[in-house]
Amino acid sequence: MPTVLKQFDQAYNALFSTAVSKIRQSVESFFNWLQQVTTIQIASKVRSSNGLIVHIYGKIAAALCLWINF
């Protein structure tokens, strides 16, 4: 019985790893696109946490407006 459980665990880990990789690739592609379109990481003039939130949401809104216009 332990052999069957070990095989089940290995199969589960392989499927889980594949699923996580597929989702992670999509998320990384989105953030890479967002960085290229908006340069969201350049926030040198942000001085407060509220300013940071406005910066982030503003850049995302700008990216979505650009995306919709294509």
Instruction: List pLDDT tens digits, range 2-15.
Output: 888 899 999 999 99
pLDDT reading at 55 higher than 80: yes
Q: What is the count of structural domains for the chain?
A: 1
Q: Which amino acid is at 14?
A: A
Look at residues 29, 27, 37 and name the one whose alpha carbon lies nearest to residue 60.
Answer: 37
40: left (phi over 0), alpha (psi -120 to 50) or beta: alpha
What is the predicted pLDDT for the residue at 39?
Answer: 86
| Domain carrying residue 19 | 2-69
Write down the pTM of the prediction.
0.60
What is the predicted pLDDT for the residue at 53?
Answer: 92
